[in-house]
Structure 1
Amino acid sequence: MSQDLYELLGVDRDADGDTIKKAYRRLARQYHPDVNPDPSAQEHFKEVSRAYEVLSDPAKRASYDRGGDPFGGAAGFGQGAGFSFTDIMDAFFGGAGATGGRGPRPRERRGQDALIRLEVQLADAAFGVTREIKVDTAVLCTTCHGSGATPGSKPVPCETCRGAGEVAHVQRSFLGEIRTLRPCAACRGYGTIIPDPCRECGGDGRVRSRRTLTVKIPAGVDDGTRVQLAGEGEIGPGGGPAGDLYVEIHVAPHPTFTRNGSDLHCTVSLPMSAAALGTTLTLPTLEADVVTGEDTDSGLETSFDLDVRPGTQSGSEQVLRGRGVPGLRGGRGDLVVTLVVETPTRLDARQEELLRELAAIRGEEAPSGQVRATHKGMFGRLRDAFNGH
């Protein structure tokens, strides 16, 4: 190789290692056989690789600068060329080495998110509530303050990787010696070793602890809704930032109301006579669950009157607008009341006599009944829709 190695890479003779590495990667992307099939480009790529092999090695570079043969008589690409396969991969795929080496990984890392399930009553989910919860999570070690080292001591550079966090593994192939970098097993890639770990946390920088938090549950949450508490999750290793805590809401069954989205549903039973003559029923509201004996001035309506029209049929529904569950984004659902008419099963003699007189007056002593299909097929429903039924 007669051409000057510095000229091959296009760098000055006093260029530092990072400048030489960047120049090599730029040329490797230009002349590598996988992207440039020109035979002359392949030959140029070999020369560039040999130049980088010499100038990236301080000992070989010093020998070359003194006029010596840095290859020790080896000839040809692949016969002793100790270029870094990692450098080529980084040049094409933008690996961490393209920014000056992967380096040691930090001990401080973000903690994991945590999840806790909280059961609330339907009224609490509807109107919102503030609750205290107890959580078991990793917290910052107060002895070492996250460093993992016993107070008065500190981590020291790893002797195996000399603080780099990674070590080179050389493997021979038809290309020559391929050098790959792997995390250092001695320091687990951190680049430092804690010779005297904290006895409280064992060098992790965090410990488990139970603590009490206050969570505000907004009005309108539904079963399965998650409330996020930012920064209240697990503290990260090495005292890293905490993750988030998610409180998953589970709504307990209610004895009166069931929920469907923002709507409430309930079923009210009433006697046959009340359904026939009509009546007014007093029903509780969901707000009644959040009003105690001391909240008489709260202004919340604890009951309401439901007017049952004469001749109400069993299974009919009444929709009361705005008496359901508040929405997370405003508004409020409806309350759907299903009326079930109860038929008496036991009659005394006088009651039976009166009912028979009523049946005679209405001509219902021997009713023939009306037979109709319980379920209609799709085409039957379409036919009735077109016929106005």
Structure 2
Amino acid sequence: MAKRDYYEILGVDKNAGEDDIKKAYRKLALQYHPDKNPGNKQAEEKFKEATEAYEVLRDPEKRGRYDQFGHLGAGAQAGAGTYGFDFSNFDLSDALRTFMRDFGGFGFEDIFESSTRRPRGRQSLRGEDLQIRLKLTLEEIASGVEKTIKLKRMQKCPACNSTGAEKGSHKKTCPKCQGAGEVKQVSRSMFGQFMSITTCRNCGGEGEIIGKPCSTCGGEGRVKGDSTITVKIPAGVSTGNYIPIRGAGNVGPKGGPTGDVIVWIEEEEHPVFKRRENDIILDLPISFTQAALGDEMPIPTLDGKVSLKIPPGTQSGKIFSIRNKGIPSIHGYGKGDELVRVIVWIPTHLGPEEKKLLLELAKSEKFKPPKGDKSFFDKLRETLGI
């Protein structure tokens, strides 16, 4: 079954601000919260659906990725990574945690001890995302390309196997959070009782404290090293697009989840073509005689040369369109065109003989423009000062 659009779920438009998204989610969450709808599976699914949408749209990076690639979910590959978001293990307790984190509770201290909550174990810190800028030629953008990228990133410490503890050293349960990795705090106000859950500062959310830190990594469980990734760039990308490579970033401290690599696309300036969305533009200088008499010329494209007929009487600025010789749509349908803009070249240095011939031609009615337009010879006289 196809997933619903996240904006549609929350009832907001695509230009909605952070506050609007938060208000829309809060309204739905209060309406479908399990404590207000005990035993109602449909309300539970609505609550989870709204929370999933909120988790994506509240985060600028996830939202940008969703706006760009939509629901490409788990398994939609981009080189070594995934465009989408994996909510395959997102259950009711995750949804409740999101709501409690941002809005507090309804006054039920044991909300997370209910039968709906599964044990989470210790909280692991996720590794940092790495940002990379990748320059591509227009030819690479037109065809799509696979790139191998070398980078330095945090990797698992081989000495302690990412535990952060020296060999022979033991971990012990954090006395402050009793191994939960988080601390609950209940407060009361005139509106009722509220509970907040925060990461334990004493153990950093680990739930455990190291007796003797690893001498190789200093207790972090990771060290910096060289790495290589491969990314497939689809045809049609442009400057400002990015491709996330899931699990290719820094390893998290002490065996935590690995971050992503975000590959930002930069389009190199082309020596011949200019790009306008999916069309490419070529300025083609031709002589006055070619413009007047017509010609057939070889024209460069991004995938070879084609022949272009210049009809007699072609004016400077005339644009010829060569179909499907532009950039493919990143969405997978259609291609742009190559637009050839004719520029009639006017010589700037003429000898006496050339001037005489042109002045003779200028006497002909055929060389006189319609009233109000400047002719080629008028422009030529202005240029040469004659």
Which residue number in structure 2 is paired with residue 341 of structure 1?
Answer: 344
Contact between 2:123 and 2:207, CA under 8 Å: does it hold in 1? no
Which residue number in structure 1 is paired with residue 220 of structure 2?
Answer: 204
Contact between 1:111 and 1:242, CA under 8 Å: does it hold in 2? yes
Per-residue deviation, residues 360-388 of structure 1 (Å, max 9, x unmatched): 233768x895169xxxxxxxxxxxxxxxx
Contact between 1:324 and 1:333, CA under 8 Å: does it hold in 2? yes
Answer yes or no: is 1:273 the counterpart of 2:275.
no
CA distance in structure 2 between the aligned counterparts of 1:255 and 1:165, rounded to whole angstroms: 57
Taking only the aligned residue pairs, the percentage that are identical comes to 38
Q: TM-score, normalised by structure 2?
A: 0.60
Which residue number in structure 2 is paired with residue 312 of structure 1?
Answer: 314
Contact between 1:149 and 1:198, CA under 8 Å: does it hold in 2? yes
Answer yes or no: is 1:108 the counterpart of 2:124.
yes
Answer yes or no: is 1:354 the counterpart of 2:370.
no
Q: Match for 2:347: what amino acid? A: P
Contact between 1:148 and 1:198, CA under 8 Å: does it hold in 2? yes
Contact between 2:162 and 2:254, CA under 8 Å: does it hold in 1? yes
Contact between 2:128 and 2:249, CA under 8 Å: does it hold in 1? yes
Alpha-carbon spacing, 1:152–1:100, altered in 2? closer, same or farther (3 Å): farther
Which is greater in Rg? 1
Q: Match for 1:348: what amino acid? A: G
The alpha carbon displacement at 1:319 in A equals 0.4
CA distance in structure 1 between the aligned counterparts of 2:123 and 2:290, rounded to whole angstroms: 75
Alpha-carbon spacing, 1:109–1:160, altered in 2? closer, same or farther (3 Å): closer
3-state SS of paired residue (2:108): helix
The alpha carbon displacement at 1:146 in A equals 1.6
- List alignment gaps of at least 5 residues for structure 1: 1-25, 27-87, 174-178, 288-301, 373-389
* Paired residues, number: 268
3-state SS of paired residue (1:125): helix
CA distance in structure 1 between the aligned counterparts of 2:254 and 2:145, rounded to whole angstroms: 36
Per-residue deviation, residues 272-323 of structure 1 (Å, max 9, x unmatched): 1110011112122212xxxxxxxxxxxxxx2111110100001110001011
Contact between 1:234 and 1:243, CA under 8 Å: does it hold in 2? yes
The alpha carbon displacement at 1:160 in A equals 5.7
The alpha carbon displacement at 1:209 in A equals 2.1
CA distance in structure 2 between the aligned counterparts of 1:241 and 1:181, rounded to whole angstroms: 21
Per-residue deviation, residues 17-53 of structure 1 (Å, max 9, x unmatched): xxxxxxxxx9xxxxxxxxxxxxxxxxxxxxxxxxxxx
- List alignment gaps of at least 5 residues for structure 2: 1-34, 36-103, 190-194, 375-386
Q: How does 1:1-389 map to 2 (within 5 A)?
A: 91-92=107-108, 95-96=111-112, 106-159=122-175, 163=179, 186-188=202-204, 190-287=206-303, 302-328=304-330, 329-362=332-365, 369-370=371-372
Contact between 1:103 and 1:165, CA under 8 Å: does it hold in 2? no
CA distance in structure 1 between the aligned counterparts of 2:160 and 2:211, rounded to whole angstroms: 14
3-state SS of paired residue (2:262): strand
3-state SS of paired residue (2:356): helix
Alpha-carbon spacing, 1:274–1:93, altered in 2? closer, same or farther (3 Å): farther
How much is the aligned-residue C-alpha RMSD, in angstroms?
3.7
CA distance in structure 2 between the aligned counterparts of 1:168 and 1:231, rounded to whole angstroms: 31
